[in-house]
Amino acid sequence: MASPSNLTMVRPIHPSTLYWAAVCPRRFVGMHGDNQLPPTLAAVRGRILHAVREDLAAQLDRSSKALRTAAEAVFLAARTREQNRLEQRSWWMEWFDLGEHLPWNEARSVVLPMANRLAGITSPAPRRRAAPTQAGAAGAAEPDFPISNHVDPLPGIEVLVACADLGLRGVVDEVRQGADGWIVVEMKTTERAAGGEAAKIQAYTYAMALERAGGGSVSHCEILGPRGPFEIPFDEDARRCIMELLEVAQQADETEASPGTSACGGCPVRDSCTAYRDWTERQWAEGWPVAESDVWGDVDSVVPAEDETFTVDLAKPDGARALVRGVPLTRPGLDAGAAIEAFGLRPTGTQRLHGAPAAPTALHERPVGVARGLPPAWGAFWQLR
Ligand code: SF4
């Protein structure tokens, strides 16, 4: 296996993306770009909760009670910041209100345990990172820049780690002192994410970067989910796994996309992925859904519906028809013959084929979505079918 140490990194790899290099190289490359579909509500929620943790961690000199008391205000402030950042992107839907979709009475079940855990950490004080750039905060890629080895003082919270050798750069949620070395902690805001392979790879990658940047030996990693932490060993197999993934990542630019995996449904660059489109259209022809929420084709008719919306009758490339309900009347320019595409809708009704779900019979709007290639007035359109 070739060492990646002699590889020239154009853009530092963030440990949170490395997992995708093994799933689909094009998705991995796309995640380092800024031409992505809007984030899902789950992704937005994760960003907010990480910001809450960082803000609470900056107040560790306060009492435990004060920290828990501050939790709601910190959450509300982080949610407002996120909403403001998202509104700076052209695909933001003005009607999508984070206050409605992420209320405090739901977030508290995650935020208060987070505050309790932080209250048990007394040393050292966390470092404050520079505020993210506007573009970076809204999901756009960081520009290219050279990196040199760096590890913030340890132990710590929100620890910046950069490893020039491996081309990795990121912020570790927490590094604790263990009996046999450092413990790298990766926080996830859902149990599903905490139990997933991506979280493990992310934690391993931080550990690898920390060691190779000269930060010292890591004994194991810890995934911290809503129900508490669990340990994963950071052994030679884990190190080998990360080195192999880094090799794959280095070749991702020259590697074909890999459609057909479950990854396509949530892929942030699927709207521009030719392989995905070709594969999806073949699946449509066979009557099976790929991503139930995506559709494109030519408009046959546009019918005013109730509550100030259109229903669009669409002929898909496979010849089948689909209805997209809830297209806002405020979106002019949609006429018969127009080609439209939309991503991130919700199936309204789903046919069943031999008892299994098949292609949706209709789709309707969902909180966040987008369609591209439309007249300018449709630049932020989000439905179809
Ligand atoms: S849509 Fe599928 S094939 Fe295309 S980049 Fe994304 S994961 Fe890869």
pLDDT digits (tens, 9 = 90+) for 267-286: 888 888 999 989 888 888 77
- Residues of the chain with pLDDT > 70, as a percent, come to 74
Q: Whose CA is nearest to atom 3 of ligand 1?
A: 259
Question: 316: CA distance to ligand 1 center in Å?
Answer: 20
Ligand 1 neighbour 252 (Cβ under 6 A): no
Ligand 1 neighbour 267 (Cβ under 6 A): yes
Q: Which pLDDT score, from 0 to 100, does residue 13 have?
A: 85
Ligand 1 neighbour 270 (Cβ under 6 A): yes
Q: How far is CA 322 from CA 6, 93, 218, 279, in A?
A: 51, 23, 53, 18
- DSSP readout, 30-83? HTTSS--PPPPHHHHHHHHHHHHHHHHHTTTTS-HHHHHHHHHHHHHHHHHHHH
CB neighbour list of residue 156: distance below 8 Å, 6 or more residues apart: 124, 126, 127, 174, 175
Question: 23: CA distance to ligand 1 center in Å?
Answer: 9
pLDDT digits (tens, 9 = 90+) for 59-112: 888 888 889 999 999 999 999 999 888 777 655 454 467 888 789 999 998 899
Question: Which is the closest atom of ligand 1 to the Cα of 263?
Answer: 7
Ligand 1 neighbour 257 (Cβ under 6 A): yes
Pairing of strands 356-364, 321-328: parallel
pTM over 0.85: no
- Are 221 and 208 in contact by the 8 Å Cβ rule? The answer is no
Q: Whose CA is nearest to atom 2 of ligand 1?
A: 264
Question: 27: CA distance to ligand 1 center in Å?
Answer: 5
Ligand 1 neighbour 263 (Cβ under 6 A): yes
